[in-house]
């Protein structure tokens, strides 16, 4: 009796989670406009929507702001959704999109608590100003940390013990860059690690609800 296995055909990827990263070329003018809009509202002492320790988060009405750059980032987010959804759906499709968004400002020592975006399908984090990026001395500085949703506690008697090749339960770190739009499913929990740089770290968190999806 022979055990047969073909690595080209006999391996299936199960429960994959896709994360998409877009870069906006020539984003400096857009980012300057968006940063000015965000910092103006922060300075006006608009209420902090919460979830940020030592920093500030706006309400979820970002796309109602009349400021320069808001419509551009809305169109950018829509373009990302239009690119991503067919890849998730497995082919061409038509659908409608409902967007919401908020802005976050972090300064030295501030961080964003773990959260997700219920009632939506896709979450997008757009980096306006990354501030001082991670380095060898502070590898997690201001990074976006996305949790592994798999139930590691039920798999490993001691969740601190992993096989060297086992990634179950380990979070993924995304280092922010100016003009970077990171897109992932809204059921993933994520946070922003403490930021220890100079100046501000300014981001937008955008959420998309997909409506009336029909495969072509």
Answer yes or no: are the C-beta atoms of 131 and 200 closer than 8 Å.
Answer: yes
93 belongs to a structural domain:
yes
Closest CA to 74 of 87, 61, 57, 89: 61
57 belongs to a structural domain:
yes
What was the pLDDT predicted at 113? Answer: 94
Listed in sequence order, the DSSP H helices in 61-180 are: 70-89, 152-155
In the chain, how many domains are there? 1
Q: Say whether pLDDT at 189 is over 90.
A: yes
157-174 mean pLDDT: 69
50-73 mean pLDDT: 94
108 belongs to a structural domain:
yes
Distance CA 63, CA 201 (A): 20
Q: What are phi and psi of 181, to 5 degrees?
A: -115, 115
12 belongs to a structural domain:
no
4 belongs to a structural domain:
no
71 belongs to a structural domain:
yes
The mean pLDDT value of the chain amounts to 90
142-150 mean pLDDT: 90
Lowest-confidence range among 92-101, 134-143, 165-174, 204-213? Answer: 165-174
With bands split at pLDDT 50, 70 and 90, how would you rate the model's confidence at 151? Answer: low
205 belongs to a structural domain:
yes
CATH number at residue 35: 2.60.120.620
What was the pLDDT predicted at 166? Answer: 64
Bigger pLDDT: 16 or 189? 189
Share of the chain above pLDDT 70, in %: 92
129-137 mean pLDDT: 84
Q: Say whether pLDDT at 161 is over 70.
A: no
Instruction: Write out the residue range of the structural domain in which residue 96 sits.
Output: 20-215
Q: Say whether pLDDT at 142 is over 80.
A: yes
pTM of the complete model? 0.89
What was the pLDDT predicted at 120? Answer: 96
60 belongs to a structural domain:
yes
């Amino acid at each position: 009796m022979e055990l047969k296995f073909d690595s080209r055909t006999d391996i299936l990827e199960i429960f994959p989670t896709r994360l998409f990263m877009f870069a906006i070329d020539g984003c400096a003018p857009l980012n300057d406009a968006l940063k000015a809009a965000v910092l103006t509202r922060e300075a006006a002492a608009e209420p902090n929507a919460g979830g940020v320790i030592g920093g500030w988060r706006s309400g979820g009405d970002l796309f109602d702001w009349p400021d320069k750059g808001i419509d551009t980032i809305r169109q950018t987010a829509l373009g990302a959704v239009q690119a991503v959804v067919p890849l998730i759906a497995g082919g061409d499709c038509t659908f409608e999109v409902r967007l919401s968004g908020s802005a976050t400002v972090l300064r030295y020592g501030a961080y964003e608590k773990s959260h997700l975006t219920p009632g939506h399908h896709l979450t997008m984090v757009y980096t306006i100003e990354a501030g001082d990026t991670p380095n060898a001395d502070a590898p997690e500085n201001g990074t976006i940390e996305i949790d592994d949703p798999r139930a590691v506690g039920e798999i490993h008697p001691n969740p601190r013990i992993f096989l060297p090749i086992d990634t179950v339960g380990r979070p993924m770190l995304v280092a922010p860059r100016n003009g970077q739009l990171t897109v992932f499913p809204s059921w993933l929990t994520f946070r922003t690690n403490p930021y220890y740089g100079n100046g501000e770290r300014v981001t937008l968190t955008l959420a998309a609800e997909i409506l009336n999806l029909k495969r072509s």
